[in-house]
Amino acid sequence: MDASTDNLFRRLDRLNDIGASLSNERHLPRLLEKILLAAKNITHADGGTLYLVSEDKRHLHFEIVRNDTLKVAFGGTSGQPISDKFQDLPLYKEDGAPNNSMVAAYAALTGETVHIADAYVAKGFDFSGTSRFDQNTGYRSKSFLTVPMKNHEGEIIGVLQLINAIDQETGEVVVFSMADQRLAESLASQAAVALTNRQLIAQMEELFESFIKLINLAIDEKSPYTGGHCQRVPEITMMLAEAVNETKEGPLADFHLTDKDRYELKIAALLHDCGKVTTPVHVVDKATKLQTLFDRIGLIDTRFEVLKRDAEIEMWRAIGEGLPPPLAEENWRKRLGQIQADREFLRHVNIGGERMRDEDVERVHRIAGAYRWVNAEGVEAPFLDDNEVENLTIRAGTLTAKEREIINYHIVATIKMLEQLPWPKHLKNVPEYAGGHHERMDGKGYPRGLTRDQMSVQARMMGIADIFEALTAKDRPYKEAMKLSQALAIMENFKNTGHIDPDLYDVFVRSAVFRTYAERFLSPQQNDV
């Protein structure tokens, strides 16, 4: 086997390796960079450019530019944005005619490879831009190989342009060989398929995430008090995940996330409360104890007004029956004072902002039995019905035990909804991650009563994120925004009592995840740490 044949076989082997590498690359800028670098490598080109056809099919957009001699690198993973340096190439002139004078545009429009030995003497193409580039840089652009990138559907999606083939023995610029052209065309074909697949996957992922955001928007539209929660929990979750991923010591030192792991956790975090679409609005938004579709404290206010009217009628009746007016008026004022005091008490209790004492619960029952009123049907009725008493004697918060069950059911609904979906392999853990954020490390959580050892690290992360967001949220109607120091004290207690994962919480504090979140999402008044 002679040297040239051996060299060709080596380059074919390299082409096969490149094809496998391209099919495994998920990051689009890195994929584009790999395509161009691979083409330069197998053809021994000094420089190259990769263009993609714009969505409107009227321009070629510069994606990657590389030149070894000039040490130029734009786009891809270079950190140098390409948009500031290179303008799009038009595929059509102002009159709508094909822009066949530009070699890259010609390749894109015709699907033909253009092979040029020397741009300065080439006929039929406009290389004035190349000439200006050479004048400004001192470079000499000579041999060109411009290859259209055609995918499996026969669609031109981009152009691969290689400049100045370098002789490996002399280092001189030479013409691209026919072997170079065939290798470049083969690579361009493989790259186009890989690129199309990656773009389709990216579009599907974007559509999928948009659908998730649509669900969260539906929750948001149902309740302005929980929609923000659905957006903020993923933020905390991913902050904590990155902090754990960077941990080099301690019990979590061996935990590492791949890009696929990150995406899976992100999707789970976005979907962790999707079951709230099934939760009744009046329960989600229950800002006071008596609120259903409206706050029933207004009905009780009306009854108090009726009691005040009845008290005044009784005063005049007593005077008519011979009771001295001053005494009748004094009795009326005492009665009025008691009515007003009880009214203000019930209004305060209805807010549910602090834990009720035993004596407050007893007073609600006493008020319910002390007053009678005549309703709209003319029937004497208890001042408070059983449901109103039940709600007004809620010890903490605004929800009854039954309403808490309704709220808690959202996690069961979340699990049921997510387990119905045919998750692909790289997202198969989404239901477990999303469905475990109300579990506790000691097995006293819900809905499954899982212990720490029965849960993934990711599910435990989401538990911390969910609690911390709920504690510090400033858009809840039933509580004031909690200060950061108070929230951290509660979280520390949860850590010590088996509620949350102690190792993860240590990372949460040690890596200052709470501080990063506070700077982005909390008000300055809350950030007191």
User: What is the full DSSP assignment across 477-528?
Assistant: TTSPPPPHHHHHHHHHHHHHTTSS-HHHHHHHHHTTHHHHHHHHHS-TTT--
Q: What is the pLDDT of residues 339-381, one digit of tens each?
A: 999 999 999 999 887 789 999 999 999 999 888 888 778 888 8
- Whether residue 291 is contained in a domain is answered as no
Q: What is the pLDDT of residues 448-496, one digit of tens each?
A: 999 999 999 999 999 999 999 999 988 766 567 789 999 999 999 999 9
Say yes or no to pLDDT of 426 above 60.
yes
Residues 167 and 22 in one domain: yes
Say yes or no to pLDDT of 22 above 70.
no
Residues 319 and 388 in one domain: yes
Residues 30 and 167 in one domain: yes
Residues 228 and 310 in one domain: no
Say yes or no to pLDDT of 205 above 70.
yes
For the segment 50-72, the average pLDDT, to the nearest whole number, is 93
Residues 24 and 158 in one domain: yes
pLDDT (0 to 100) of residue 212? 87
Buried b (16+ CB within 10 A) or exposed e, 190-229: bbbbbbbebeeeeeeeeeeeeebeebbeebbebbebbbbb
Low-confidence winner among 224-233, 269-278, 388-397, 410-419 (lowest mean pLDDT): 224-233
> Element (H or E) spanning 149, and its range?
strand 144-150
pLDDT (0 to 100) of residue 504? 97
- Whether residue 345 is contained in a domain is answered as yes
Interatomic CA distance for residues 356 and 65, integer angstroms? 69
Domain with 309 in it = 297-398
Q: What percent of the chain has pLDDT over 90?
A: 58
Higher pLDDT, 290 or 456: 456
Say yes or no to pLDDT of 220 above 80.
no
pLDDT (0 to 100) of residue 15? 56
Q: Residue 49 pairs with which residues in a beta bridge?
A: 65, 161
Residue that terminates a domain, selected from 166, 201, 236: 201
pLDDT (0 to 100) of residue 374? 81
For the segment 270-292, the average pLDDT, to the nearest whole number, is 85
* Longest CA span, the chain: 134
Q: What is the pLDDT of residues 231-242, one digit of tens each?
A: 899 999 999 999
For the segment 274-301, the average pLDDT, to the nearest whole number, is 85
- Whether residue 146 is contained in a domain is answered as yes
Instruction: Determine the 3-state secondary structure of 47 from DSSP.
Output: strand
Q: Are 88 and 74 in contact (CB under 8 A)?
A: no
Low-confidence winner among 38-42, 439-443, 518-522 (lowest mean pLDDT): 38-42
Q: What is the pLDDT of residues 94-146, one digit of tens each?
A: 899 999 999 999 999 999 999 999 999 888 899 988 899 899 999 999 999 99
Say yes or no to pLDDT of 517 above 50.
yes
Q: Are 286 and 403 in contact (CB under 8 A)?
A: yes
pLDDT (0 to 100) of residue 31? 79
**What is the reported pTM?**
0.68
Residues 27 and 144 in one domain: yes
Higher pLDDT, 91 or 24: 91
Residues 113 and 188 in one domain: yes
Instruction: Compute the mean pLDDT over every residue in the chain, rounded to the nearest whole number.
Output: 88
Q: Are 353 and 479 in contact (CB under 8 A)?
A: yes
Residue that terminates a domain, selected from 376, 398, 420: 398
Q: What is the pLDDT of residues 382-411, one digit of tens each?
A: 899 999 999 999 998 888 889 888 888 889
Residues 52 and 182 in one domain: yes
For the segment 161-175, the average pLDDT, to the nearest whole number, is 93
Instruction: Determine the 3-state secondary structure of 161 from DSSP.
Output: strand
Residues 275 and 301 in one domain: no
- Residue in this structure with the two tokens 């595929």, named with its chain if needed: 91
Domains: count for the chain? 3
Residues 95 and 25 in one domain: yes
Q: Which CATH number belongs to the domain containing residue 465 in this structure?
A: 1.10.3210.10
Residues 255 and 187 in one domain: no
Residues 195 and 242 in one domain: no
Q: Are 486 and 427 in contact (CB under 8 A)?
A: no
Please give the backbone phi and psi of residue 119, each rounded to the nearest 5 degrees, phi first.
-60, -30
Please give the backbone phi and psi of residue 322, each rounded to the nearest 5 degrees, phi first.
110, 0
- Whether residue 46 is contained in a domain is answered as yes
- Whether residue 528 is contained in a domain is answered as no
Q: What percent of the chain has pLDDT over 70?
A: 93
pLDDT (0 to 100) of residue 143? 95
pLDDT (0 to 100) of residue 104? 94
Q: Are 87 and 49 in contact (CB under 8 A)?
A: no
pLDDT (0 to 100) of residue 85? 74
- Whether residue 292 is contained in a domain is answered as no
φ/ψ region of 493 (left if φ > 0, alpha if ψ in -120 to 50, else beta) reads alpha
Say yes or no to pLDDT of 1 above 50.
no
pLDDT (0 to 100) of residue 20? 57
Residue that terminates a domain, selected from 353, 383, 398: 398
- 292 CB neighbour count, 10 Å cutoff: 12
